[in-house]
Amino acid sequence: MADAMLRTSLTRTLDGTPLPSLMASVGSSRSPPPSYRSKRSAVYFAPEASSRTKENSEKSRKHQLQQEIDRANARLPPKDTKGLFRAACSTDLLFLVDATNSMGPYIEAAKEQVKAIVADVKKAFLDEAEVRVAVVSYKDYGVTPNIEFLDFTSSADQVREFLDCLCLDWGRDWPEDVLGGLQQAVNASWKHQTRCIVHIGDSPPHGRTLHDGQESDDRYYHTESEPCGLTHGPLLRKLIRLNINYALLRITTHTDRMGLVFARSYGRGNAKLHANNKYHGILDASFESMTNSQRSSGAATAPQFEELQLGITYSQLRHLVVKTVTSSASRTAGRLSMAVSRAIRSVNPSTIEDLAAIHEEDDHVGRRNDSSEGSVTLENLPPQWTTPGWLDLRLQVDGFCPAIVVHNANTLSDMMADDKNIKLNVTRLTLYARSKPFAEGSVRVAAYAGTAASSGRYVMKSFKKHGKGLAEAAEDMRIQALCKAFALEFNGLLKVDPPLDFIVTSCLQHAPNTAGSRNAAYLSLEPFIEGDYVKYNTNSAYVNEELGDDPFNQMAQAFSHFTFERSWGHFLVTDLQGSGHLLTDPAIQTKDPERFKLNDTNLNEEGFKFFFATHKCNDVCRKLSLQSNAEMLISGKMDFREQWPVMDPTVCCSNNLCRSIIRLSEAQESDKFLGHHWCNSCWPQLASSTNSRICVELGPHHEFEVSEFFLESQGQLVPNKCPEHSEKDTTESSAAAVGGMIFSRLRSAPSMTAINGRSY
C-alpha cells in the first residue's frame, strides 16, 4: 500500500476476547429485503442512545471537541505560504553534454532550442519562475580542453553562444569522461530549489561496472586505473544531498548499464529506467528485498533519477527537458510544503526564504533516518478474515465520525460557508484488530481490523510516535465530508456509474475506563480497499500522465477542477488517490487562510497555482462547461460557470462506517428503520445480525430482539435492557428521530431547478 495511504500503528496490546469469526464478505448484488423477527414491536429501538443522560453526554463531547478545535486554531499562527509556488518552480537547469563528434546534431538542437526551453518552463509555471541555465561539456582524457563549463546564467543568449563555441573531438576509445563532467556539475553554483541535470550523451563512463564493453574497449577498464581517482558512488551521493534531479536522455543502448547503476544510487521510488533499457526489469527486481519504509521513504519529495528516450528525434529535446523540470518542481514543492508546516508549528516560524537555506540538510538527515527510526516488523501474509481468532486484539473505543447528511440543493454551499455546518457524530464501537501491522509508512503503520457486529473489513491506523491530536483528526474528517459533498454533486451532474466516492474515516480512542485509555493516542478506522492504489494528482503540481486518457483518470482530474469552479475559486480538492472508484486521504486548498489551517496539505492560494500549472482540461471538464483556467489565474480575472442544475436526490449509506454514495432511487429502505438508507453491502446485515438478548432488569425473565448491526452502524453499543425498561425519551429513540427527519426532508424539500454558483 502506498505511503500516502498509511496512518496507523498498533503500539499497544490489549487483553480481550478474540473475535470468534468475522462474517463472510457480503456481495454487492441487490438483495431481497431481510425478514425480521420481533416478539414485541415492529420497530427496533436503540434504548441507550435515547437516554437523556447519554444525549447530554454526547452534546457535551461535541462541545468539548469544538472547544479543542477552536483552541488549536487559536494556537496556530497563520500559515504563510505566499511565495511557495515561485520558490518551488524557480529552476537551476544544467545540461551535461557529451562533446564528441557523434553528438554534434544534439548539441545543435540544444543550441537552437534553449530559448524555447526557458520560455516553456516559465510559461508552464505561470510566468512566476526564474530559470537559470548552466552547461558542462565533457570529452575523454587526453583531449584539450577535456571539460568546458558555463556556470548558471539567466541569459539564454549566453548559453547559445557557449554551445556554439564548443570544440567537438573524437574520443580515444569508446567510453568518455562522464565522471569528470559530473564532478564539475556538483561544483556549479546551485541556488534555486528545483535543480535538474539533463544528461545528453551516447557513451558510458570509463570502468567495467558502468558499461558492457570489453577490456579492450576501455583504457581505464579497472576502477582503480581512472586517472583522477573518480568513482560514481560519491559523486551521485553529493547530487542526492544537493537535491539534484537527474534526467538521462537515452540515445543508444551503450548507456544502459550506466543508467541502471545511477538509478540504483537514487533508490526505490525515486528512479525510473525507460522501458527500452535492457536492464529495466532488473531495476525493479533489485528493490524487491527492501522494506516498506525504505520503499516509500521520501518517494514523493526526494530527488529522482529518470531515463527518457531521446533517440534520434532532436525535436523531442524541448519537450523532455520541460517535462523533467515540471516533475522536479513537483518534488521540490512537496519538500518545501513540509518544511513550511514544520516551521509554522515550531517556536520560531521561518519565511519561505529562510527555509531555502535549511531544507537541504534537514531533508538529508530525514532520508538517512527514515529507514531506521521507529521501524516495525510487518506481517507479509494475506489477510485471514474468516479464520477464528486471527484478529487477536479486542478494543473498546469511542470517538467521532461524519454525521448523516441529506444532500439537498443547499448542502454543499452550507458546508463551504462554515466548518460548523460539517457535522460530526459521537460513536462507540467494539473493534477486533490484528496485533501485527501489515504496512508501514514513514510515521504510521496499518493493521487489519473488523467490528463486532458486521462483516465489514477495515484498516486501523495510528502513529508510531506522537501523532495528530483530536482537533487535527476532526479537521481531516470534515475535509473528507466536504470532499464527499462535492462528489455527490459531481456524480449527479455526470450520472457516472459507479460514482466517484471518498471513503470515510472515524477518529477513535480507547473508551474511558478501559485498558490503554489513559493518554492514548487517537486511532483511525477506514474501510479496507482491495486492489492497487493509484495516485492521480497532488497539491504540488503532480499529475499522473502515465494513465493518459484512462476514463477514471480524466474524471479525477476534472473533479479537482470542478471543486474550484463550483466553489467560485474558494476551494480546490487535490491529492486524489485510491483504488477503483474509491478515493482516500484527499487534500483541500483554500482561498481563506483560516479554513482548514490545521491540515498540513493546505497550501492556500499557492495550491491553486500548483494545480493549474499542470492541469489540462479534458473532455469531462468541457462536458461540465468549466471556465476557469491558468491564464485567468495569471491575470487575476476569473470567470466561473454560474448556473448548476439541481441533481437527482442522492444520499449516503446510513452506516457510519460506510457512507457509500447511493442514488435515492436505488437505496435500500426498511419500514423497521424509517429514514435510513442502505447500500447493497450493508442492507443484508440488518437481518443477519438480529439476535435475542436477555433483559437484565429485575423481574420475570424475558428477552428482546435487536439488530446489532444497526446499533453499531449508528455508533451505539448493544443495550442490556429491553426498550420497556430502558431510560428513554417520551417520544421516540434518537435513531428513529434522526431517520424520520431525513425521511421527511427528502420528500418535502422544495423543488429547485438550478443552483447559482455565485451565491456562495
pLDDT tens-digit profile of 445-467? 899 999 999 999 999 987 776 65
Please tell me the predicted confidence (pLDDT) of residue 698: 85
For residue 657, give the nearest of 393, 431, 456 by alpha carbon. 456
Closest of 377, 649, 593, 601 to residue 483, by C-alpha: 601
Which one is predicted more confidently, 660 or 31? 660
pLDDT at 234 exceeding the cut of 90: yes
Q: Are residues 611 and 633 in the same domain?
A: yes
Instruction: Find which of 21-30, 298-307, 659-668 is predicted with most confidence, using mean pLDDT.
Output: 659-668
pLDDT at 116: 92
What pLDDT is stored for residue 348 in this prediction? Answer: 54
Rounded CA separation 469/462 (Å): 11
Least confident range from 362-366, 499-503, 504-508: namely 362-366
Which of 645, 675, 691 terminates a domain? The answer is: 645
Residues 453 and 525 occupy one common structural domain: yes
Contact at 8 Å (CB) between 626 and 495?
no
Distance (Å, whole) CA 682 – CA 659: 10
Residues 498 and 617 in one domain: yes
Task: Please compute, for residue 315, the number of CA atoms within 13 A of its CA located in the half-sphere on the CB side.
Answer: 0
Q: What phi and psi values does residue 163 have, to the nearest 5 degrees?
A: -65, -35
Q: Say what the pLDDT of residue 346 is.
A: 60
Q: Of 359, 231, 378, 360, whose CA–CA distance to 295 is shortest?
A: 378
With respect to residue 688, please indicate whether it lies within any of the assigned structural domains: no
Q: What is the pLDDT of residue 316?
A: 80
pLDDT at residue 306 above 60? yes
Any domain includes 471: yes
Choose among 153, 148, 155: nearest CA to 184: 148
Per-residue buried b or exposed e for 679-688, using 16+ beta carbons within 10 Å of the residue's own CB: bbbbbbbbbb
Domain shared by 318 and 285, yes or no: yes
Other CB atoms within 10 A of residue 219 CB: 17
Q: Could you give the C-alpha distances from 44 to 4, 406, 678, 682, 704, in angstroms and in order?
A: 41, 22, 16, 17, 10
> Final residue of a domain: which of 620, 645, 670?
645
Q: Which H or E element spans position 551? A: helix 551-566
Binned at pLDDT 50, 70 and 90, residue 720 comes out as confident
What per-residue confidence (pLDDT) applies to 345? Answer: 61
In a domain? residue 187: yes
Judge whether 323 lies within some domain: yes
Retrieve residue 490's grid coordinates. Answer: 459531481
d(CA 204, CA 139): 11
Specify whether 278 is located in the same domain as 427. Answer: no
Residue 133 resides in a domain: yes
| Beta strand 147-153 pairing with 131-138 | antiparallel
CATH for 459: 3.30.200.20
> CA-CA distance, 628 to 681, in Å (whole number)?
39
Cβ atoms < 10 Å from Cβ of 189: 9
CB 424 within 8 A of CB 480: no
Mark whether 26 and 122 lie in a shared domain: no
- How far apart CA 345 and CA 555 sit, in angstroms, is 36
- Are 130 and 169 spatial neighbours (Cβ–Cβ below 8 Å)? no
Sign of the C-alpha dihedral computed for residues 250, 251, 253 and 255 taken in this order: negative
Residues 627, 565: Cα–Cα separation, whole Å: 8
Going by pLDDT thresholds of 50, 70 and 90, the confidence category of residue 718 is confident
* 500 in any annotated domain: yes
Pair 317, 404 in one domain: no
Are 549 and 505 contained in the same domain? yes
Higher pLDDT, 650 or 592: 592
Query: 435 lies in which domain range?
Result: 3-78+385-645
**What confidence score (pLDDT) does residue 126 get?**
93
* Mean pLDDT for the stretch of residues 364-387: 68
Are 61 and 175 part of one and the same domain? no
pLDDT band (50, 70, 90) for residue 79 = confident
pLDDT digits 0-9 by tens, 534-562? 999 999 989 998 898 899 999 999 999 99
Cβ-based neighbours of 735, under 8 Å, separated by 6 or more: 45, 46, 49, 50, 673, 710, 714, 716
Determine, yes or no, domain membership for 194. Answer: yes
The three cell numbers locating residue 611: 494545480
Is the model more confident about 290 or about 711? 711
Q: Give the pLDDT confidence score for residue 665 in this predicted structure.
A: 81
Nearest to 19 by CA among 511, 658, 509, 451: 451
Q: How far apart are CA 676 and CA 271, in angstroms?
A: 50
Q: Count how many domains the chain has.
A: 2
- Report the mean per-residue pLDDT for the chain: 81
Q: Is 88 in contact with 328 (CB distance < 8 Å)?
A: no
pLDDT value of position 57: 79
What is the predicted pLDDT for the residue at 512?
65
Whether the pLDDT of residue 599 is over 50: the answer is: yes
Q: Which cell numbers hold the place of 480?
A: 473528507
CATH value at residue 209? 3.40.50.410
Residue 696 forms part of a structural domain: no
Per-residue pLDDT band at 38 (split at 50, 70, 90)? very low
Last residue of a domain, one of 588, 610, 645: 645
| pLDDT above 50: residue 13 | no
491 vs 499: CA distance, rounded Å = 6
Given pLDDT bands bounded at 50, 70 and 90, which one contains residue 354? Answer: low
Nearby residues of 544 by Cβ (< 8 Å), 6 or more positions away:
534, 535, 536, 537, 553
Number of H helices, E strands in the chain: 20, 26
DSSP state of 580: T
pLDDT confidence bin for 52, thresholds 50/70/90? low
| Per-residue pLDDT at 34 exceeds 50 | no
Question: Can you tell me the distance from the alpha carbon of 489 to that of 408, in angstroms, rounded to the nearest whole number?
Answer: 10
H or E element in which residue 487 lies:
helix 470-494
Within this chain, do residues 316 and 459 fall inside the same structural domain, yes or no? no
Q: What is the pLDDT of residues 326-353, one digit of tens each?
A: 999 988 888 888 777 666 666 555 555 5
Q: Which residue has the higher pLDDT, 248 or 440?
A: 248
Per-residue DSSP letter, 407 = B
The pLDDT of residue 188 is 98
Same structural domain, 96 and 19: no
Cα(82)–Cα(670) distance, integer angstroms: 53
Q: Are 254 and 277 in contact (CB under 8 A)?
A: no
State the CB neighbour count (10 A cutoff) for residue 582. 17
Q: H or E element: which one contains 426?
A: strand 424-433
Q: What mean pLDDT do residues 685-706 have?
A: 86
Sequence-ordered list of residues with C-beta below 8 angstroms from that of 341, at least 6 positions apart, any chain: 79, 600
H helical segments located in 104-231: 104-124, 156-164, 178-186
Contact 452, 432 (CB under 8 A): yes
What is the SS3 assignment for 300-350?
CCCCCEEEEECCCCCCHHHHHHHHHHHHHHHHHHHHHHHHHHHHHCCCCCC
Give the rounded percent of residues in the chain with a pLDDT score beyond 90.
51
Kindly tell me if the per-residue pLDDT of 26 is higher than 70.
Answer: no
Between 316 and 365, name the one with better pLDDT: 316
Verify that 119 and 225 share a domain, yes or no.
yes
Taking only Cα atoms into account, the Rg of the chain, rounded to an integer number of angstroms, comes to: 30
The residues, ordered by sequence, that sit 6+ positions from 363 with a Cβ below 8 Å of its Cβ are 243, 298, 301, 302, 335
* Residue predicted with more confidence, 367 or 354: 354
Average pLDDT over every residue of 500-508: 92
**Nearest residue to 85 via CA among 20, 132, 129, 41:** 129
Q: 117 falls in which pLDDT band (50, 70, 90)?
A: very high
11 band by pLDDT with thresholds 50, 70 and 90: very low
pLDDT band at 9 (very low <50, low <70, confident <90, very high): very low
* Better-scored residue on pLDDT, 455 or 289: 455
**The pLDDT of residue 300:** 63
Nearest to 196 by CA among 334, 280, 72, 320: 320
Q: Tell me the pLDDT band of 713, cut-offs 50, 70 and 90.
A: very high
| pLDDT at residue 625 greater than cutoff 80 | yes
